[in-house]
Chain A
Amino acid sequence: MKILYGMQQPDEGTITVGGEQVVLHNPGDAIARGIGMVHQHFMLADNLTVLENVVLGAEKLYGIGGKARAKIKEISDAYSLNVRPDVLVEELGVADRQRVEILKVLYRGAKTLILDEPTAVLVPQEVDALFDNLRELKAEGLTVIFISHKLGEVLSVADEITVIRRGTTVGTVEPKGTTPKQLAELMVGSELPTPETEESTVTDVPMLKLDGLHLTQTDLDGVERIILDEISFTIHKGEVLGIAGVEGNGQSELVEAIMGMRQPDAGVVTLDDTDISRTATRDRREAGIGYIPEDRHRHGLLLEAPLWENRILGHVTERPNSRGGLLDIKAARTDTQRIVEAYDVRTPGIDVTAASLSGGNQQKLIVGREMSHNPKLLIAAHPTRGVDVGAQAAIWDYIREARREGLAVLLISADLDELIGLSDTLRVMYRGRLVADADPATITPEELGSAMTGAATGHLEHTEDDER
């Protein structure tokens, strides 16, 4: 995708746009050819209005005044995007911001739209709305390239599906007459397991107990915001507690509070009957918390360090990485080799940098590392994000295995199928509060989705008439 948007140059091969062979040196070239990209992470300035964000960098097209506003209105109406030009972006929700991003691209005259994992941050209802928008665009004669890991979505919105695995095209199929299973098998090259737990392994021995966790933060304007509000729950041995929620509703902060990277204002964290509310991160890790961070590049890896140093990261005080104050490099290297083999990390060796591995293999290394220190509690935040389907299945297996061995697992994910499939208990987080709970055996993603937007609270019961 980076090549198509001019951010990277191909070694060989050609790109043809509208019957004409082109060379794209930079994103400017791509835009001039009518190719626009909506990034996974939005590129909007919060403190500007929608109008200002749209014209930013494209002032020459229609100016910055009435003409631009009229044009935005026109595009918005033509594709029923419902964009209000004079609202500040910070007041908009995620779905609205995404529509602004799409409008930004259209405003620049794009005829081909690239959407990179556009549904990762949306709840199911918002996804449906997005797909309606995409169909409008299609009806107006635009081309949409939709990149997603989620098979159901691809099948429902696409006219043609191309499967890419390890950098090569493995097949192009019609969505009609293709089942998600067939598509997934194309993606992994073999049969695909589903995220389903076996019989319950939940015990009544509490492992992690949170009691009244409360966290406020004063933002730049001096306004105090409540990030975590009276969070209490218990995870037992052998239990997977899943937390659903649209990102940015306090999940990251919750994890950081449990890890000791952030000090909550009030509340008690108890791990295996020991109060760890005031202990340092390192002591908590030594006490048996394994941590799969949501952003592995920021929190889980040293990208420019070799794999064996990454194996030491986070467990430098524990065997086999060190004895006393000294590193035991030989033992750490041997153990890295073991992890690479046991967890199927695809790498030519343990001396390559972490940055040269694919996301899935980086994640498998992290999972292997965290599982190698006999954790009592595993915190898995978005464990399969940005990971190929093969690695995804493997990671699900590891989590299930951990649960069987009596670990308590806190699973945070935006992938509702993953949450429903793996969890024993489900909670929904909305604006820093746990607003609802649900039984993963009966709940549907749509029902969870309504709680994620704050529309439903309390105990969610699956109702038959809700099913479509």
Chain B
Amino acid sequence: MKKLTSRIDKERLFLGIAAPVLAVVAALVVTALVIAATGKNPGAAFSDMTTYGFASDSQVYILNKATTYYLAGVAVAIGFRMNLFNIGVDGQYRLAAFIAAVLGGALTVPGWIAIPLIIVSAMATGALWAAIAGVLKVTRGVSEVISTIMLNSIATAVIAYLLQPGRLGELQQGGTLVSTKPLPSASHFFNIDTGPAGVLDGFVVVAVLVGLAYWFVLGRTRFGFDLRTVGQSESAASASGVSVKKMIATSMVISGAVAGLIGMPTLLNESHQYDNSFPTGIGFTGIAIALLGRNNPVGIALGALLWGFLERTTNHLEFQGYDKEILGVIQGVIVLCVVIAYEVVGRYGLKRQQQKVGAELAAQAAAATKKQEVA
């Protein structure tokens, strides 16, 4: 009997990996067709991507990108585990980074006080912005999809209004760029210098910690069990004694707090200020990555690295005379394939398990009757 359990487990693991691999392979095939259609050689393009992507300076670049993407993926995944679609991660992290940058620029205290303060203020801002959608959902039944999309636009407008000279912004020396007051160098987060390969953001450590916390809280705590229960069946959750509304509001707040961290590697490690060149749209990248990683902490990390890799290498392809749009094609096809592959593989797995359980029980029953006959 033990043998069967382990077999099912192995099979489940295999099915779990099958879906993303299938999706990536399908995406590669489609991309190859697209490149071939533009009259270029896909083989050469792929080999260029691999050699360039695994160069040491590319690795550092990819890791830095992936740090940001990982945080975004986790923020979205928290919502997904609850069946909540937090599209507002985008607005949450931008507003959070902006407020944190303003606060950081104004602080003159030592770094060991300032950095935690900046990070906490970013998380609090993200949490508050997400809480609006959470409260609207539990009190008025407003779909979080709609409210968070709108809150994204509102965040854009709020930042645009405040980020002006005379308000919270200031004109830089060149007179061409408006930004928040730069962080004093004491408030810069530590970097890891890897020599000629470049500088690795120290925030990657925080991202790993967030991943560990995500895994631990969801898989090992009572709170995480309640959260997953609500995600799987609201009716069963409420019958089991979980307050569904409270859970929705709480998980929205947590998702927003993690979203607040997304802008931190950029702010604390790289730009040290918030201006119009601050990266946007990462919240949406996070949705794709959470889907790709199946809301699994390791899966999200792999998804984030893949995304960084694709961006790095397709940028380089442009210099080789390929079209830049290849990136969009690959990413789009991957996400599409992933969603389809998970659904197909998931259904297949469930059906197969049901059949197996049935077959096993029938075999047991047959063995039992045989024994009886002998006796």
> Which A residues have a C-beta under 8 Å from some C-beta of B?
166-167, 259, 261, 280-285, 291, 293, 298-305, 309, 312-317, 322, 325-327, 329, 346-353, 355-357
Contacts and interface: CB of A to CB of B under 8 A. Distances in A.
A291 B226 contact: no
9 closest A-B pairs by beta carbon, nearest first, are A282-B241, A349-B5, A314-B240, A299-B239, A281-B241, A356-B357, A348-B360, A356-B354, A298-B235
Contacts of A313: 229, 236, 240
Interface of B: 1-2, 4-5, 8-9, 219-226, 228-229, 232-233, 235-236, 238-243, 350, 353-354, 356-358, 360-362, 364-365
Contacts of B239: 259, 261, 281, 291, 293, 299-300, 314
Nearest to A260: B241
A244 to B, nearest CB: 23
Contacts of A317: 222, 241
Contact of A347 (B225, B228, B232, B357): B357
Given A281-B239, A298-B236, A305-B232, A348 B361 contact: yes
B240 A298 contact: no
Given A304-B232, A348-B360, A280 B9 contact: no
Nearest to A261: B238
B243 A280 contact: yes
Contacts of B243: 280-281
A72 B314 CA distance: 67
A357 B232 contact: no
Contact of B220 (A299, A315, A327, A355): A327
B225 A346 contact: no
A351 B3 CA distance: 12
29 contacts: A166-B361, A281-B238, A282-B242, A284-B241, A285-B241, A299-B235, A299-B239, A302-B232, A302-B233, A303-B233, A304-B232, A313-B240, A315-B240, A316-B222, A316-B240, A325-B221, A325-B222, A327-B219, A327-B220, A327-B221, A327-B225, A329-B220, A346-B361, A347-B357, A348-B5, A348-B8, A348-B356, A352-B353, A356-B353
B352 to A, nearest CB: 10
Given A299-B235, A300-B236, A302-B232, A316 B9 contact: no
Nearest to B232: A302
Given A301-B233, A348-B1, 15 more contacts: A261-B239, A282-B240, A302-B229, A309-B225, A313-B236, A314-B240, A317-B241, A326-B221, A327-B221, A327-B225, A346-B361, A348-B357, A351-B9, A353-B350, A357-B357
Contacts of B224: 327
A276 to B, nearest CB: 13
B223 to A, nearest CB: 7
A351 B220 CA distance: 17
Contact of B225 (A283, A303, A316): A316
Contacts of B238: 261, 281
Nearest to B9: A351
Nearest to B12: A351
A325 B224 CA distance: 10
Contacts of B5: 348-352
Contacts, number: 110
Nearest to B363: A348
A302 B229 CA distance: 7
Contacts of A322: 222
Contacts of B362: 166-167
Contact of B222 (A299, A305, A314, A327): A327
Contacts of A301: 233, 236
A46 B180 CA distance: 61
A60 B96 CA distance: 60
Contacts of B9: 351
A150 to B, nearest CB: 25
Nearest to A314: B240
Contacts of A281: 238-241, 243
Q: B225, B228, B236: which has the most chain A beta carbons within 10 Å?
A: B236
Contact of A326 (B1, B220, B229, B354): B220
Contacts of B353: 352-353, 356
Given A281-B238, A282-B241, A349-B1, A326 B233 contact: no
A166 B358 CA distance: 9
Nearest to B231: A302
Contact of A355 (B2, B219, B350, B361): B350
A313 B233 CA distance: 11
A305 B8 CA distance: 14
Which residue, A293, A301, A350, A356, has most C-beta atoms of chain B within 10 A? A356
Nearest to A305: B232
A72 B32 CA distance: 61
A216 B81 CA distance: 34
A348 B236 CA distance: 24
Contacts of A312: 225
B354 A355 contact: yes
A431 B197 CA distance: 77
B10 to A, nearest CB: 11
Nearest to A281: B241
Nearest to B365: A166
A329 B219 CA distance: 9
A352 B358 contact: no
Contacts of B350: 304, 353, 355-356
B224 to A, nearest CB: 8
Contacts of A356: 350, 353-354, 356-358
